[in-house]
Amino acid sequence: MFGGFGQAKGEVIISPYDVYLDETNNAVQPDIIVVLNENIKIIDPRGHIHGVPDILVEVLSSHNRDHDQKLKKDLYERFRVQEYWIVDPENKSTTVYALENNRYKIVAEDAGMVRSTLLGCLFGF
């Protein structure tokens, strides 16, 4: 759970953890998953998610750069994941995409610190 000193806002789940965006063929395993309390019912206690999380984070590696930056970005946008973060350890930057009119728009792109528009707070790394 996360939420600072007040009431918890949701759950943060670290990979490996399967996310079934739908019940057909759109299963992914993001590096970090955030599910806010209002959507907590999508977390199955057996160890997977059925539905669309609020924030998904992918950490790039040399073998998945194109997959995460294009294919997963398009998939998450299509399923309306509210925020999609791409962390690039090579250049120590994070790009935050947020849905605006059902399309992703870059709302933060920086090294060291980014703001989540959904959570309304800064994250440093």
Q: What is the CATH number of the domain that holds 47?
A: 3.90.1570.10
Provide the number of structural domains found in the chain.
Answer: 1
Check: CB of residue 96 under 8 Å from CB of residue 85.
Answer: yes
Please report whether residue 5 resides in a domain: no
Q: What is the pLDDT of residue 7?
A: 60
Q: What is the pLDDT of residue 1?
A: 47
* CA separation for the pair 38, 23 (Å, rounded): 21
For the chain (125 residues), the mean pLDDT of every run of 10, in chain order, is: 59 92 88 95 92 94 78 93 93 92 92 84 79
Please report whether residue 3 resides in a domain: no
Q: What is the pLDDT of residue 94?
A: 92
Check: CB of residue 55 under 8 Å from CB of residue 85.
Answer: yes
* Residue 63, domain extent: 10-124
**Residue 64: what are its φ and ψ, rounded to 5°?**
-125, 10
Q: What is the pLDDT of residue 5?
A: 42
